[in-house]
Chains A and B, each alone.
Chain A
């Protein structure tokens, strides 16, 4: 699996860091993996599963397998109910740790520009720290204050005090420069992201956005979500009957997913992608790109076209494991390979939305 020169690891600051598994029902885990995993595991690998090193041993069987206690678990395909924190995600790049700012969160309200580089948290430098350690520094009780020192995108340095607050992010955000129809999708939430995208496109049209102007979807921070929501989103842009992808299950059986009848958007589409674009986001981008419906701008994507399912075990804990692989319309999966952009940009350009929008114009004209 190739991850680009700019390794982006999005760590949601508002999430709880998962701790080691406790009292896992090992026999149940062995049975589920034996019966339902996409690739049937080696019996020996199942046999050696034990409590103390469960996360590592599960990863040897399936790189995306994970065990959650009932308390730790949150479904990746549903919208988060409560958000608390500074209202940002950490984006780890080669040049440092950057903040991806959520609309309506504390950082946004305090005027912190998106993609500001994080230098210090409460006077402690973040250089050399693991992202999880930085996330831990940023977390705290509602109403508490955290002081950040930032390098702003215009290269000024700034100190800001943020009050950790509860907030609810938009399911699809309008990103400045908003008059150019830049829409940011971070998650593919079952049954929610498609109507949110439709509402946002219609909202822009009512505000006077040009009907034939390029629609720019920013998928740089989209790390996945619900597989079928990704197909449902691609369905909005492709004629009825068009192949969106094939879902492969245990035993090599394929189910074709095709675009349905209904209202379709016809404007040109450009997708901004990067190493943080993964899973459902890659499946959505791959379907549109390989059907010639969208151009890709940015950097090579993460490279994960497999899908995981979450099985609730008898004690309320949850086992996540790979049970499907998606083959894109071009005939191959993106797993381990990623999607290659039509126009590749540098690390510096990838974090600058104004430059990226400028690239969209040249991409539309010349390619």
Chain B
């Protein structure tokens, strides 16, 4: 009986000892924990953990800041896109008005029929290009392009819109001249 109790105590000791592979008491080891408390390595461990924690917090802050920047960028891009879409829509209305005026000009007793026909053709072409601009802007998100190429597409559309604006101004001038 005594022998059995002794074996059990020894076995229990081995089990407890088996847990004590770390010096940090927070790791749950009993002997190591006590040894850590008495040997000063507990404070060292705490300091190390705090340092690690601070590193993690710094990384989290950097991620938060990056996320914030991305959100600002996204919202700026969205605002720019909304602005571009509004501009294109306004130009579509202006071109529609120009188209209407040109049609009425064609129906009137204007002398230079050839120039009016040419103007009409160019207005129709401009209208088509402007509609394509509008749909390209609408499809910008989810176009499958990466960030750099999407940014490039935005710049190309912007420049093309400016170019179409100049073409519109020219056609408007032609229309006024022909109407006089």
Q: Which residues of chain A have a CB within 8 Å of any CB of chain B?
A: 78-79, 81, 87, 103-106, 108-109, 165, 167-168, 170-174, 178, 190-192, 194-196, 198-200, 202-203
Contact = CB atoms under 8 A, between A and B. Distances in A.
A195 B165 CA distance: 12
Interface centre among A81, A165, A199 (most CB of B within 10 A): A199
Given A104-B143, A170-B153, A194 B128 contact: no
B167 interface: yes
A171 B143 contact: no
A191 to B, nearest CB: 6
Contact of A170 (B128, B129, B156, B164): B156
Nearest to B136: A168
B160 interface: yes
A172 B155 contact: no
Interface string B133-172: 0011001000111001101110110111011100100000
**Range for the number of chain B residues in contact with chain A:** 20 to 34
A108 B144 CA distance: 9
A228 to B, nearest CB: 12
B76 interface: no
B155 A167 contact: no
Smallest CB-CB A-B distances: 5 pairs: A199-B159, A195-B159, A104-B144, A104-B145, A195-B163
Given A78-B129, A190-B125, A170 B149 contact: yes
Given A104-B149, A195-B159, A168 B139 contact: yes
A179 to B, nearest CB: 11
Contacts of B164: 191
A196 B159 contact: yes
B23 to A, nearest CB: 49
B151 A203 contact: yes
Interface string B81-110: 000000000000000000000000000000
Contact of B128 (A78, A106, A109, A203): A78
A109 B155 CA distance: 21
Contacts of A191: 129, 160, 163-164, 167
